[in-house]
Amino acid sequence: MARRPIIAGNWKMNNNKAEAKELVDGIVYGISSLDASKMPEVVIAPTYTALWQAYDLIKNEPKIALAAQNVNPNPSGAYTGEISLDMLADFRVQFVIIGHSERRQMFGETDEFINQKAKAILAKGLIPIICCGETLEQREQGVTDSHLENQITKALDGISASDVEKSVIAYEPIWAIGTGKSCDAVEANRTIGQIRKVVAKLYSQDVADKIRILYGGSVKPSTIVEQMAQPEIDGGLIGGAALKADSFIDLIKGAM
């Protein structure tokens, strides 16, 4: 089954107002000459402070979708420093990244909390990008597949098959995030194939064939073509290489 690839840029805690404008302007210019029918789905995830500016710059550019880097599942209330889905909807956000290893490790987010977020995102009509991944120690112990199965099973608990089909999973080996190390494309493909088998076991092969699963972890223009040649990999969740327009455009081209 043909699945449209996604190239998503996660800016993390980078780019002030001027830098955000320069980056978005560069991306808009860079994709202007690309054939929309051949392009992957392009997604950018700015910081909260740059969401309005990014929205304003791409509101007339259908080739780019907007994502948030996180969300609180509660509709409103006394949650100092948090952002709700209604607030994100003001900026026509279409995707929300949840379960990133940095949120899990630095801020103590649990699988159960990530599941709450996924349900709230889907109920709002948005698409969760659900991250999963193993540490170097877990990989060396040979528990990568069972660890990922546990993460995915808990993240999707109580979510309907039709909502899972619309969702996106991002496999990000923690040992490859921001380290310059990239998981071998063949092994990344095998691991993502295992994640797809988990979805098939939980739901059906049809659902597993429809859900898009991305690879993330030091993805670069020099690695994207080999990664996209793998049958299970449906695109990339990009960190550092998404912070420069030229490299992000090269990643988009590499997925075409």
The string of DSSP codes covering 164-210 is: HHH-EEEE--GGGTTSS----HHHHHHHHHHHHHHHHHHS-HHHHHH
What is the C-alpha to C-alpha distance for residues 66 and 9, in angstroms, rounded to an integer? 10
Cβ neighbourhood burial of 60 (10 Å; 0-12, 13-18, 19+): exposed
Residues 68 and 45 sit within 8 Å (Cβ to Cβ): yes
In this structure, which amino acid lies at residue 55?
A: Y
> What's the CA gap between 142 and 145, in Å, rounded?
8
147 is a catalytic site residue: no
- Residue of 129, 2, 155, 114 whose CA lies nearest to 66: 129
Q: How many CA atoms lie within 13 A of 17 on its CB side?
A: 3
CA 135, chain centre distance (Å): 18
Using alpha carbons, list the distances in angstroms from residue 68 to 11, 84, 181, 245: 10, 11, 26, 19
Catalytic residue among 22, 82, 100, 165: 100
Q: Which of 61, 137, 172, 187 is catalytic?
A: 172
> Coil, helix or strand for 65?
strand
To the query of whether residue 172 is one of the catalytic residues in this protein, the response is yes
Count Cα neighbours of 217 within 13 Å in the Cβ-side half-sphere: 25
Q: Would you name the residues annotated as active-site residues?
A: 100, 172
